[in-house]
Amino acid sequence: MIMKGKRGLIVGLANNKSIAYGIAKACHEQGAEMAFTYLNDALKKRVEPIAKEFGSSHVYELDVSNEEHMAGIAAKIEKDFGKIDFLVHSVAFAPKEALSEPFMKTTKQAFQIAMDISVYSLIDLTNRLEPVLSDDASILTLSYLGGPKYIVNYNVMGVAKAALESTVRYMAVDLGKKGQRVNAISAGPIKTLAAAGIGDFSQILKWNETNAPLRKNVTIEQVGNSAMYLLSDLSSGVTGETHYVDNGYNIMGMAMAETNEEGKTILAWDAR
């Protein structure tokens, strides 16, 4: 088993539809032991059964904007695990109005919140956990195509994801001196709790399914398997990368569609 003997912390799991769930499942199937965090009491009742499903009783409350939570997380890990070999950072947030209103209407407060929780928390969390991270630890965060490219209604989260991917590269250099690695996965759109806040998300799903080379949307299982690779020793020579798991959608430069004689838009490959 690829992850046998490895221990890790999964931060940001919300339910069994989460990308973080897919990652935890893949790691568990390959022998990893894990601890989990939950944001608040409302999510605790969802996370605890998932932890139990994966053979873990180590569940901690962690709001990355709460200093008390952040200050105490390393001590909890040390008590339960000693050291950990991997960290999954699945944390992102922007105020609702920053996603529903035009990008140019983004307030300074909303911008700062999005950057603090979605980006700086990766740096902060890694620093807090430094005493309990193994010398060859692997750190993974989650991005999206809305960082390097414009995605409708993604707004300030796109700017945050762009900053997150840049942060991964800069962190990779600093952590590389210690032998530690950091990477990002840019997953295709998946119907998760977080995605519910993005306007017209069903249209985004349909568009990706229509235009991705593999002509379907990605699953949390597919993302989980790729994440497991990046968290394991199989990827020991990989750091600072943003790895796309989106059925190839990111390579497309033009929509695969054309107009028929009736004026209806159809897929170019279905017209041939």
Among candidate residues 21, 38, 154, 229, the one labeled active-site is 154
Distances in whole angstroms, Cα of residue 160 to Cα of each of 93, 122, 163 = 9, 12, 5
Closest to 88 (Cα-Cα) out of 157, 17, 182 = 182
Catalytic (active site) residue 38: no
Q: Is 60 a catalytic residue?
A: no
Which is the catalytic residue, given 21, 38, 120, 144? 144
Active site residues: 144, 154
